[in-house]
């Protein structure tokens, strides 16, 4: 967040994650995609992750939540995951720059989405027939791993010129 404020004050500011032309938070922060709703996307993340962290802490303390809460959390996590997938596609195929801070969010949203969904299906907040419920409950780690593999593969193929040393973007 502080880096974004510095970039807003001085567009030539070099952020801590400006590594090279293909890995640069500063360049990504200057695109329209970094403020889709008119304010930095980071504000959304700060609020959303505060909710999920608070939920986790409350669960560790023994709290029990109603179905409506779990469905609301599912809606928020699903919207967040969809937004992150869109931002990921923008980074790879429109901006052509990877942002390390953004990639941390991508890496976090994958298990968050998968495991909130698994929890909600397994505990009946999202009602599915027994077969799909059992399959999803047993395959959460596989789904998570496959999504990570998909992200790594798309990064590799989107930046293949960089990896193999030919002319790139």
- Predicted structure pTM score: 0.88
CA dihedral over 94, 97, 102, 106, signed as positive or negative: positive
Q: What is the pLDDT of residues 51-92, one digit of tens each?
A: 999 999 999 999 999 999 999 999 999 999 999 999 999 999
The CATH class for the domain spanning 2-164 reads mainly alpha
Q: Which two tokens stand for residue 106?
A: 């991508």
Describe the crossing of helices 100-122 and 130-138 by its angle, rounded to 10 degrees. 140
**What ranges do the domains of the chain cover?**
2-164
Q: How far, in Å, are 50, 52, 64, 145 from residue 57 at the CA level?
A: 10, 9, 12, 25
Q: What is the pLDDT of residues 105-151, one digit of tens each?
A: 999 999 999 999 999 999 999 999 999 999 999 999 999 999 999 99
DSSP-derived 3-state class of residue 103: helix
């Amino acid at each position: 967040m502080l880096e974004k404020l510095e970039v807003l004050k001085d567009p030539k500011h070099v952020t801590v994650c400006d590594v090279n032309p293909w890995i640069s938070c500063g360049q990504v922060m200057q695109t329209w995609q970094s403020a889709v709703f008119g304010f930095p996307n980071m504000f959304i993340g700060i609020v959303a992750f505060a909710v999920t962290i608070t939920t986790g802490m409350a669960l560790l303390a023994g709290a029990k939540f109603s179905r409506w809460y779990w469905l609301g959390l599912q809606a928020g996590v699903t919207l967040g995951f969809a937004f992150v997938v869109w931002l990921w596609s923008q980074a790879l195929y429109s901006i052509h720059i990877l942002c390390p801070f953004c990639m941390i969010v991508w890496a976090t949203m994958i298990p968050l989405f998968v495991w909130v969904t698994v929890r909600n299906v397994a505990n009946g907040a999202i009602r599915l027939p027994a077969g799909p419920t059992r399959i999803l409950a047993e395959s959460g780690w596989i789904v998570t791993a496959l999504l990570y593999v998909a992200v790594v593969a798309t990064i590799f193929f989107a930046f293949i010129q960089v990896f193999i040393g030919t002319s790139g973007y």
